[in-house]
Structure 1
Amino acid sequence: MAISQRLDMRQGQSLVMTPQLQQAIKLLQLSNIELAEFVEAEIERNPLLEHGESSERDDSDRELPERASKREELNLDDNSALNEAREAMDAPKEDLYDGGTTSDSATTANEMSGPSARTDWSQAGSGGSFSGDDYDFEGSLSSETTLHEHLHKQISMSGLSQADQLIAARLVDETDEAGYCKTDLEEVASALGADPANVEAVLEVCQGFEPVGVMARDVSECLALQLKDRDRLDPAMHALVRNLDLVAKHDIKGLCDICGVDKEDVFDMIAELRSLTPRPGSAFASGTTIAVAPDVFVREMPNGMFAVELNSDTLPRVLMDKAYYAEVSALPMREREKEFISECAQNASWLIKSLDQRARTILKVASEIVRQQDAFFAHGVAHLRPLNLKQVADAIDMHESTVSRVTSNKYMGTPRGLFELKYFFSAAIPGTAGGDAHSAEAVRYRIKQLIDDEGKKVLSDDKIVEILTEFGIEIARRTVAKYRESLNIPSSVQRRRQIRASA
């Protein structure tokens, strides 16, 4: 058979995700904080984008200062500046949407998307302290001392040699926010080329730092350091802190045998343990805590129905300055400059449409969740229904992966509190005699209620199974034990010991 070359034409189909489509999918799963950071970065990159203000804008009121600054940013007369700006806009030309319209309520004349507010610090006072763009407001605020800063200050006053101070600094860096130094001393010694015995000796010195109990390697050592500082670490107390598992189980008889004391002394020793601090570093400042803001609100209507609305405060306002785009496009430009302006316009339009589509999708998914779980909003956790992603996806004609992305890192503010959207999805526990299924979260809530109301008559896991069966819930004993442990509720044996200990 002769070998020859030939050309064939074949027709096929393939799914291609453009970079813009990939970013649109990524926007769905961003939290409101991450979304604000993403939009801020896009505004810095694209001279046609700006923060939205009021929907009724007067172009003559915001005339020259902003336009002049944008012209400087774009600088069409300076090719080098243009090239730098164009390289920064590394986005493809393809538009995510090939058509479609948006509602009048979601868009405005300048393609505004979402709400925002802007504060003009230049008008805050006549003294000039807030005037100027260079003022660092956050930098002027006083900051609390962190645990690491507090420990590093004590190293220089510890009397350690220069070499040992380096070891101490490494151990301090390995200490977590709770105040524990759980690092492997062998690894520290190997990394610093030091003797392991010397590293342990330095750690002992560091364990004398304030606060008392800091840089312990476990809870037992932390409590022992605090008792030693109080001059209360006698043999009986030392035995007690070495057997904290028996303390957690309220095994008073076992503790009496190990510590060599009577029942009354054990109770006194446990009471002293409770006065100690298992997290010595908690008194110091840690990382900045960011409050969770709900993405949607649910409120009850006078007719008993529930209304769902977006939290407009978490939606970034972005608009494209079409007047400025028209002004720049009318200037004489080279081909590369026209291409850059076109890319900016396409990306600005895509971002505004994507933000609008994201908001619509979140509202659609949240509305369906509220519809499916209306009994929860009306009567509480015990009436939570079993629900999965597929049920919601089928109801709103979306893919399961889209619903999964929408419910990630999104929160719903309700009359019953703040909940993550994923909270409303739970497995189904079958009902007895073919009855209706029950939500796993609702069953977990019933188990907690039963144990909270048990009083002195402690319910075993088997007894809880019998009671739940009477409620029409078919559940195994091991499932009850698993749910009980997830609620951090001790076993029936431990609960009986707690009752006897408190008697």
Structure 2
Amino acid sequence: MALEMKQQLRQTQQLVMTPLLQQAIKLLQCNHLEMLNAIEAELRENPVLETAANDDDAPNADSAVRNDLDALQDMTREPERPESDVFDIAWENYLENFGGDRDGRHSDGTDRMPLENIRSKASTLFQYLLEQLRLSDLNDADRAIALELIGNVNEEGYLDVDLSDIADAHGIDVAEVERVLREVQKFDPPGVAARDLRECLLIQAQNLHPPDSLVIRILQDHFDAFRKGKFDELIRKLKVSQNEAKDAIRAIASLNPKPGSLHSNSDTVYVTPDIYIVKIGNDYSIIVNDEGIPRLKINPLYQKELHSKDCSPLTKEYIHEKMKGAVWLIKSIHQRQRTIYKVTESILKFQRDFFDKGIDHLKPLILKDVADDIGMHESTVSRVTSNKFVHTPRGIFELKYFFNSGIPQGKESIASESVKNHIMRIVKNEDPAKPVSDQDIVEELKRSQIHIARRTVAKYRELLGIPSSSRRKKRF
């Protein structure tokens, strides 16, 4: 077959994601806080866009989203007066004039930032251990080894490196690294730099005051039996009474299996609901959370400049593009709020029994059901419900929570979340000395007219983080 080169003309159609369309899709899947950050970023980058003052006449909602840029000339309000920037503070003078007075003023009479408004930064576990290393009496060679050991301690406080690797890096015996490791393990918090859970608990047990020899014996010689819950075997091998074993096990349970968690810098993540469902009488009202969302408008100075005769074509093109982006952003925000409202309204219609009666009446629901109900694509519904929360009379839930698979029960189906709630309630009400097995849960669910297999119960139990009945059993 001969090869040849030739030209062909072909006409095809394909969907192109413009930057403005990408921005609209990104806003749609952002939660409330992420959208506020996106708006702030756009306000910094787009000089045409600005926030309207509260005392300004609110523009008509339709005019805010019109595509015709020439129609925006009627917005002739003066631009909002910018607020003073926190970075305008003369920090050099602040540091020079800082004194020991407590009246909140400098010696020259100027104000200064109160100390209670300055947030202190918590030290990490590495910094805390490094500070103790500086105060230790180790020599320079041991300090170098200890520094490498500290650098390989993870956030939970465990050592994540093999001692032979450190020994090879320093050209010394493993016994020398072991000796330095024992010094590091004397640092606070107790149990830090341990290589496994047994060593971590043993270090803490040796620091108990007064020391408990029985606890140390259990951790040193019978840790596997303790970990597996074979307490009868422990009592027999240790030749102690049940009360003595009981006290020792309680002492071990009081130890911290993750000593590094005390110095964790993970910030608490707060949830801001994107929408509220409020019950008024026998009906429900849907309120979209607009708190903190600024009312955006086009800067009138740029509108005048766009139609000025003295404006160069290049400047007009720049202003036109920025105004187009600003109007599209305003439209996207309004469209996002309307879409969230429609999706929530549809969820409320499908899951009305949940809001009236509780989780046991949650129904199976898929994205296609809501998409068909509101006349949108499934991908749009998926973006709207992703990482967004709704505040209801029954608590705060992620919008994805209301979408769950169904378990066939004859002609009808029951939601998987409802079955999980039944399992959780059964386990919560069980006798700790005789916990229910998976088969017992199956029989109990049958009494509630829920027929599922034992393997399904085991799967849902694992998803809920509930251990097996043998591990839940309390011997004492």
Q: How does 1:293-304 map to 2 (within 5 A)?
A: 293-302=272-281, 304=282
Conservation of the 8 A alpha-carbon contact between 1:384 and 1:442: yes
Residue 263, structure 1, aligned to residue 245, structure 2: no
C-alpha distance in structure 2 between counterparts of 1:204 and 1:334, whole Å: 75
Q: Aligned residue for 1:28? A: 28
Conservation of the 8 A alpha-carbon contact between 2:305 and 2:311: no
Superposed displacement of residue 236, structure 1: 6.0
Question: For residues 389 and 187 of structure 1, do their structure 2 counterparts lie closer, same or farther at Cα, with a shift above 3 Å needed?
Answer: farther
Q: Aligned residue for 1:292? A: 271
Conservation of the 8 A alpha-carbon contact between 1:29 and 1:408: yes
Q: Aligned residue for 1:361? A: 339
Conservation of the 8 A alpha-carbon contact between 1:236 and 1:259: no
Q: Secondary structure at the match of 1:212?
A: coil
Alignment deviations for residues 455-477 of structure 1 (CA, whole Å, 9 cap, x no partner): 46643322321232232322110
C-alpha distance in structure 1 between counterparts of 2:317 and 2:211, whole Å: 78
Question: For residues 149 and 55 of structure 1, do their structure 2 counterparts lie closer, same or farther at Cα, with a shift above 3 Å needed?
Answer: same
Question: For residues 294 and 8 of structure 1, do their structure 2 counterparts lie closer, same or farther at Cα, with a shift above 3 Å needed?
Answer: same
Q: How does 1:5-404 map to 2 (within 5 A)?
A: 9-54=9-54, 56-57=56-57, 129=111, 140-185=118-163, 198-230=176-208, 232=211, 234=213, 237-240=216-219, 246-247=225-226, 249-257=228-236, 259=238, 261-284=240-263, 286-302=265-281, 304-313=282-291, 316-329=293-306, 330=308, 332-404=310-382
C-alpha distance in structure 2 between counterparts of 1:471 and 1:163, whole Å: 69
Question: For residues 5 and 166 of structure 1, do their structure 2 counterparts lie closer, same or farther at Cα, with a shift above 3 Å needed?
Answer: closer
Residue 419, structure 1, aligned to residue 400, structure 2: no
C-alpha distance in structure 1 between counterparts of 2:260 and 2:67, whole Å: 57
Alignment deviations for residues 364-386 of structure 1 (CA, whole Å, 9 cap, x no partner): 22222222212111111111111
Specify the code of the residue in structure 2 equivalent to 1:375. Answer: D
Q: Aligned residue for 2:94? A: none
Q: Secondary structure at the match of 2:412?
A: coil
Alignment deviations for residues 296-343 of structure 1 (CA, whole Å, 9 cap, x no partner): 1111121x22222111125x3252334121233226233322221112
Alignment deviations for residues 115-161 of structure 1 (CA, whole Å, 9 cap, x no partner): xxx89989xx997537xxxx799982334444333222111112234
Match 2:416 to one of 418, 424, 440:
440
C-alpha distance in structure 2 between counterparts of 1:23 and 1:258, whole Å: 68
Question: For residues 171 and 354 of structure 1, do their structure 2 counterparts lie closer, same or farther at Cα, with a shift above 3 Å needed?
Answer: farther
Specify the code of the residue in structure 1 equivalent to 2:111. Answer: S
Alignment deviations for residues 20-61 of structure 1 (CA, whole Å, 9 cap, x no partner): 2122212222232222222222111111122343263599xx
Specify the code of the residue in structure 1 equivalent to 2:267. Answer: T
The number of equivalent residue pairs is 441
Q: Secondary structure at the match of 1:451?
A: helix
C-alpha distance in structure 1 between counterparts of 2:343 and 2:471, whole Å: 43
Conservation of the 8 A alpha-carbon contact between 2:145 and 2:180: yes
Q: Percent identity?
A: 40
Conservation of the 8 A alpha-carbon contact between 1:430 and 1:473: no
Residue 477, structure 1, aligned to residue 454, structure 2: yes
Match 1:461 to one of 438, 445, 464:
438
Specify the code of the residue in structure 1 equivalent to 2:253. Answer: R
Superposed displacement of residue 244, structure 1: 5.5
Conservation of the 8 A alpha-carbon contact between 2:202 and 2:219: no
Conservation of the 8 A alpha-carbon contact between 1:178 and 1:282: yes
Q: Secondary structure at the match of 2:137?
A: coil
Question: TM-score normalized by structure 2?
Answer: 0.80
Superposed displacement of residue 353, structure 1: 1.2
Question: For residues 322 and 275 of structure 1, do their structure 2 counterparts lie closer, same or farther at Cα, with a shift above 3 Å needed?
Answer: closer
Question: For residues 137 and 333 of structure 1, do their structure 2 counterparts lie closer, same or farther at Cα, with a shift above 3 Å needed?
Answer: farther
Deviates more, 1:204-213 or 1:450-459: 450-459
Deviates more, 1:159-168 or 1:216-225: 159-168
Specify the code of the residue in structure 1 equivalent to 2:297. Answer: M
Specify the code of the residue in structure 1 equivalent to 2:25. Answer: I
C-alpha distance in structure 2 between counterparts of 1:3 and 1:239, whole Å: 80
Question: For residues 464 and 435 of structure 1, do their structure 2 counterparts lie closer, same or farther at Cα, with a shift above 3 Å needed?
Answer: farther
C-alpha distance in structure 1 between counterparts of 2:295 and 2:6, whole Å: 54
Conservation of the 8 A alpha-carbon contact between 1:182 and 1:218: no
Q: Aligned residue for 2:92? A: none
Specify the code of the residue in structure 1 equivalent to 2:12. Answer: G
C-alpha distance in structure 2 between counterparts of 1:56 and 1:128, whole Å: 34
Superposed displacement of residue 389, structure 1: 1.6
Question: For residues 488 and 8 of structure 1, do their structure 2 counterparts lie closer, same or farther at Cα, with a shift above 3 Å needed?
Answer: closer
Specify the code of the residue in structure 1 equivalent to 2:447. Answer: E
Alignment deviations for residues 155-213 of structure 1 (CA, whole Å, 9 cap, x no partner): 11122344543443444344344333334555666778876555444333221111212
Question: For residues 390 and 241 of structure 1, do their structure 2 counterparts lie closer, same or farther at Cα, with a shift above 3 Å needed?
Answer: farther
C-alpha distance in structure 1 between counterparts of 2:329 and 2:174, whole Å: 57
Question: For residues 196 and 268 of structure 1, do their structure 2 counterparts lie closer, same or farther at Cα, with a shift above 3 Å needed?
Answer: same
Superposed displacement of residue 99, structure 1: 5.8
Question: For residues 342 and 170 of structure 1, do their structure 2 counterparts lie closer, same or farther at Cα, with a shift above 3 Å needed?
Answer: farther
Conservation of the 8 A alpha-carbon contact between 2:198 and 2:219: no
Question: TM-score normalized by structure 1?
Answer: 0.76
Gaps of 5+ in 2: 60-64, 77-82, 89-103
Q: Aligned residue for 1:76? A: none
Superposed displacement of residue 294, structure 1: 0.7
Conservation of the 8 A alpha-carbon contact between 2:420 and 2:460: yes
